[in-house]
Amino acid sequence: MSTTTSTSKSSFRDLNDKTAGSERSELTTECTSCHVSVDSRKFANTERHPLEDHDYIHANWVDGYREPKKFILTQAPLPQSVDQFWNMIWQEKCCIVVSMIQTVDVPGAEASSEGSERRLLHLCYFAWGHRATPKKPSDILCFISDLNFNRELLIKEAIAAQWLKQNENSPITIHCLAGTTRSATIIALDISLKKLDDTAARSCGPMVDVDDVVLRLRNQRAMAIQKPELYLFLHLAVFEYAVRQRCISETTYNEIDLENYFYNPQRPGSGSKDQEESGRKSPSSS
C-alpha cells in the first residue's frame, strides 16, 4: 500500500490545474476563499444583491456522471449572502441542500416564494472536520447512497406537488467552507461510483479514471480537491466501493485486507507477522 500511496501522491503533483479563472472586474464580492469561479460554469442569481448591485454568488454548476448540472457547488453562505443563497435554492428548485461543515449557523431568509411552499431536505455531515480527512470511506459511501436515494424520493414528491415538472432538473446544492475541498470530494466520489456502476456489466469491465474525474471537476470549479490527502482518500473510497460491489475478480477480492487497505498477493494469513504489521501501518504512515 505504501507504494500505491506514493504513486498517488506523485500522480496528484502531476495534475495541472487547467481551469481558467474569472477575469470580470466587477466580481469583487467578499468570499471566504481566494478561489475564483469558472466563467462558463458560474451560477447567476436572478435576485441582484441589494447593496452591491450584482448577481454574483460564489457558486458553480457541476455535472454529475451523465447528468448535466446535477450539482451546485458553492462556499458556505456569508452573512451578507444568505438571502442570495436561499434565493438560489428556490430559483433552481433544489430539493436537497448538503452541508459539509461542522456548525450550522446559517439563518433562514425570505425567498420570493409568493406564498408557495416546498419541502426540501437539509443534510449535514459533521464527522468530517475542516482540514481533516476521514479515516475510512465507509461512512462517506453510505452518506452518498442516502443522498441519492432521498433525492429520487423528493423529486417524485416535488413532481406530485407540481412545483417540479417531469424531467426538470433539481440540482443538489452542496457546500463546505470554501466549496473546493470536502464538498468537491463528495461530488468527485459520486461521479466515480456512478461510472463504476455503469461500466461494471460491460465487456470492458468496470472502469473509472480518478485523475480524469478530478480534472473535469477543476474545469468547472477552480482548485477543486486541492489537497493530496483528499486525492488519496478519493482513491481509497473508490477502491473500497469496487471491492464491496465485487467489481474485481474473486481471486483478487480474497487477497485484499479491506480493513487496512493492504493488498497481499498471498492468501490472507500466509504472510509473516512482520509483513502484516507493516501492511497495517502503511496507511497511517503515508
3-state secondary structure the chain: CHHHHHHHHHHHHHCCCCCCCCCCCCCCCCCCCCCCCCHHHEEECCCCCCCCCCCEEEEEEEEECCEEEEEEEECCCCHHHHHHHHHHHHHCCCCEEEECCCCCCCCCCCCCCCCCCCCCEEEECCCCCCCCCCCCCHHHHHHHHHHHHHHHHHHHHHHHCCCCCCCCCCCEEEECCCCCCHHHHHHHHHHHHHHHHHHCCCCCCCCCCHHHHHHHHHCCCCCCCCCHHHHHHHHHHHHHHHHHCCCCCHHHHCCEECCCCEECCCCCCCCCHHHHHHHHHHHHHC
- In the chain the domains, ranked by start, together with CATH numbers, are 18-248 (3.90.190.10)
Per-residue pLDDT of the chain (286 residues; tens, 9 = 90+): 444 555 665 676 666 444 444 444 343 344 444 444 455 556 655 555 444 454 557 899 999 999 999 999 999 988 888 888 999 999 999 999 999 987 655 555 555 556 678 999 999 999 998 888 888 899 999 999 999 999 999 999 999 999 999 999 999 999 999 999 999 999 999 999 999 999 988 888 788 999 999 999 999 999 999 899 999 999 999 998 998 888 887 787 777 766 655 555 554 444 433 333 333 333 333 3
